[in-house]
Amino acid sequence: MSKSVLTPQADDFPRWYQEVLAKAEMAENGPGRGTMIIRPWGYGIWELVQRAMDDLIKATGHSNAYFPLFIPYNFLQREAAHVEGFSPELAVVTIGGGEELAEPLVVRPTSETVIGDAMSRWIQSYRDLPLLLNQWANVVRWELRPRLFLRTTEFLWQEGHTAHTSWDDAQAETMRILDEVYFAVIDGVLGVPVIRGRKTDRERFAGARVTYTLEGLMRDGKALQMGTSHNMGTNFAKAFDISYQSEGGTEELANTTSWGVSTRVVGGVVMAHGDDRGLRLPPLVSPVQVVVLAVKPEALDACRRLTDDIAATGVRVKLDDRTDTSFGRRAVEWELKGVPVRIELGPRDVEQGQAVVVRRDVDGKQPTPLEGFAAGMPSMLEDVQRSLYDQAVARRNEMTADVDSADAIDGPGFFRIGWDALGREDGEAKLAERAYSVRCLVKSDGSVPAPDDSDDLIAYVAKAY
RNA sequence: CGGGGCGUAGCGCAGUCCGGUAGCGCACCGGCUUUGGGAGCCGGGGGCCGCGGGUUCGAAUCCCGCCGCCCCGACCA
């Protein structure tokens, strides 16, 4: 070990975050305010998130579609709470082709309105329901304080929009997404443990009847909202006339839902797993899962064979054959990028019939016989995946405290406090003055509260990104 | 938008107080020697000193205005 590569997390976490994004070639600021250039390494992670999520979205019966980037301004105004919530952060196009537009177009901050408008035409009968749609898109929100991945003016996401015959069906959908899609991906693929819960009225999505969330805890003890799932009830159906004729012949309003996960989760992976030497990527979202580092040119043939053998097991493996670049430089580079497993193979190893395995989730190096080596890679990657997850869980638990008074809420991490002991909305408002927020409410047994559950609630409180 | 800090080579910075025609480290290019934890030596290339105006013989430096970025808040996926 020589000079340190990054500002240590403990010294200045935001600085560490920016440095690691730059040095791992993840992303950088775009030329326009608050915009982001996602470089191949960062985009590769997002693509893996997308693939995992898209598979589950489809497995739960949804179809992808695409709706316009530009939305007539008046659409936003049709749902009172929605327009109130989003107006401050809208980008509005007033000039097109050199002419002032008769009606301004907003660049979508989210697509409930355009999709609601389409749904009103597509849905006539109860037989048209449920209508289960999703789109992968970019959206724009004029945020006051952008941060790469966590809050950028333009960001990429998926947004699901569904319509149902009843409140109960919509509620079941809202929960299905929360559990079977979002939790499955964020917890199971990104390896970020999250608390699932209900948002307070104060934190609820603009226009929703109830909002559910998944809250992760980053290594600096701040929370990150990693996804949300909303039940709109009939709010948007009323605003956009999404109605259908029931089996009994009556005219009924549909109940709609919406739910989204964005490129923010990439920032979450960085901040939940990364250490002072760089990223630590869970194998399931690492563009390269195993890198074979040829120590010297004489070992290249053996490295090629090993790389091919590993590739044959279905692992994403890359050969680093840049033997004109020093060993140390290359080792540091792969550590920064967070590749889960690095294999160092040099002439000495070849001679001894071994390779040196370096796992990013633990310290130390492990000489391993080349015989049967490749076959062991998939299970080693599973180990790394589990180990990073376990470390994140342990860390989250260490940083979670039960308190019985709002006065005891101070410092990093989650604070669990009875919703009544906090003082409900009044207590929540007081916390806000100190930059703390109620991230979500859960039942005392840890389960997710129903929309109208108002007793037996525990608040998870933290500072948040 | 409130509080604080900063804009000088791709990145990180010195120079600004006290005006004299731009420098350091890393990165980059070429050559040789190297390569098992960010290699060494030699030789190179690269700058509207954030932008606009003013003062001056002369401005990175002084004055005025503007813009942008970062950190801490309010807002949020």
Is 60 exceeded by the pLDDT of residue A3?
no
Average pLDDT over residues A4-22: 84
Report CA(A31)–C1'(B57) in Å, whole number.
40
Is 80 exceeded by the pLDDT of residue A4?
no
* Enclosing domain of residue A363: 288-383
Report CA(A447)–C1'(B49) in Å, whole number.
59
Q: Which two tokens stand for residue A447?
A: 């389960």
Same domain, A444 and A418: yes
pLDDT band at A307 (very low <50, low <70, confident <90, very high): very high
Nearest nucleotide, CA A3 to C1'? B38
Average pLDDT over residues A450-460: 95
Q: What is the DSSP letter of A10?
A: T
Q: Is the dihedral of CA A446, A450, A454, A459 positive or negative?
A: positive
Report CA(A379)–C1'(B72) in Å, whole number.
45
The residue type found at A363 is: D
Distance CA A462, CA A399 (A): 10
Same domain, A371 and A434: no
Which CATH number do you get for residue A208? 3.30.930.10
Nearest nucleotide, CA A4 to C1'? B38
Is 90 exceeded by the pLDDT of residue A54?
yes
| Mean pLDDT for all residues in chain A | 93
Report CA(A146)–C1'(B50) in Å, whole number.
20
A283 three-state secondary structure: helix
Give the pLDDT confidence of A125-158 residue by residue, as tens digits. 999 999 999 999 999 988 877 888 998 888 999 9
The total of structural domains in chain A comes to 3
> For chain A, first and last CA: distance in Å?
33
Would you tell me the crossing angle of helices A264-273 and A377-398 to the nearest 10 degrees? 80
A182-192 exposure pattern, b = at least 16 Cβ within 10 A, e = fewer: bbbbbbebbbb
- Which strand B nucleotides have any atom less than 7 A from protein CB atoms? 1, 34-39, 68-77
A57 lies in some domain: yes
Is 90 exceeded by the pLDDT of residue A18?
no
A415 lies in some domain: yes
Q: What is the DSSP letter of A321?
A: -
Same domain, A147 and A57: yes
Nearest nucleotide, CA A263 to C1'? B77
Report residue A365: phi and psi, to 5°.
-125, 145
Q: Are A46 and A266 in contact (CB under 8 A)?
A: yes
Distance CA A273, CA A37 (A): 22
Q: Which two tokens stand for residue A74?
A: 């008046």
Distance CA A31, CA A29 (A): 7
Nearest nucleotide, CA A435 to C1'? B73
A220 three-state secondary structure: coil
Same domain, A316 and A258: no
Query: In this structure, how many other beta carbons lie within 10 angstroms of the beta carbon of residue A447?
Result: 12
Report CA(A89)–C1'(B7) in Å, whole number.
27
Higher pLDDT pick, A26 / A132: A132
The residue type found at A377 is: M
Same domain, A76 and A43: yes
- The pLDDT, as a whole number, for residue A275 is 93
Higher pLDDT pick, A396 / A146: A396
Same domain, A45 and A133: yes
Is 80 exceeded by the pLDDT of residue A251?
yes
- The pLDDT, as a whole number, for residue A1 is 36
Q: What is the DSSP letter of A222?
A: -
Strands A251-253 and A131-140: unpaired
A340 lies in some domain: yes
A150 three-state secondary structure: coil
User: At which of A351, A383, A415 does a domain end?
Assistant: A383
Helix residue spans in A274-376 (DSSP H):
300-311, 327-337, 347-352
Give the pLDDT confidence of A75-87 residue by residue, as tens digits. 988 988 888 888 8
- The pLDDT, as a whole number, for residue A433 is 83
A436 lies in some domain: yes
The residue type found at A64 is: N
Average pLDDT over residues A329-342: 95
Distance CA A353, CA A142 (A): 58
- The pLDDT, as a whole number, for residue A9 is 87
Distance CA A403, CA A249 (A): 54
Is 50 exceeded by the pLDDT of residue A2?
no
A174 lies in some domain: yes
Is 90 exceeded by the pLDDT of residue A7?
no
Higher pLDDT pick, A299 / A31: A299
What is the percent of chain A with per-residue pLDDT over 70, rounded to a whole number? 99
Strands (E), A190-340: 194-198, 210-217, 223-233, 243-245, 251-253, 255-262, 290-294, 317-320
Report CA(A8)–C1'(B3) in Å, whole number.
26
Write a three-state SS string for A330-387.
HHHHHHHHCCCEEEEECHHHHHHCEEEEEECCCCCEEEEECCCCHHHHHHHHHHHHHH
Distance CA A93, CA A86 (A): 15
A394 lies in some domain: no
A356 lies in some domain: yes
Nearest nucleotide, CA A203 to C1'? B76
Q: Are A26 and A44 in contact (CB under 8 A)?
A: no
Distance CA A83, CA A289 (A): 44
Report CA(A220)–C1'(B24) in Å, whole number.
34
Nearest nucleotide, CA A146 to C1'? B76
Is 80 exceeded by the pLDDT of residue A350?
yes
Q: Across-strand partners of A64? A: A134
A358 lies in some domain: yes
Distance CA A266, CA A246 (A): 43
- The pLDDT, as a whole number, for residue A204 is 92
Report CA(A332)–C1'(B37) in Å, whole number.
8
Same domain, A317 and A177: no
Same domain, A101 and A192: yes
User: At which of A273, A302, A328 does a domain end?
Assistant: A273
- The pLDDT, as a whole number, for residue A145 is 79
Same domain, A417 and A363: no
> Which of A297-311, A341-355, A424-438 comes out lowest in average pLDDT?
A424-438
Same domain, A257 and A325: no
Same domain, A262 and A323: no
Same domain, A300 and A184: no
Give the pLDDT confidence of A260-274 residue by residue, as tens digits. 999 999 999 999 999
Distance CA A402, CA A422 (A): 12
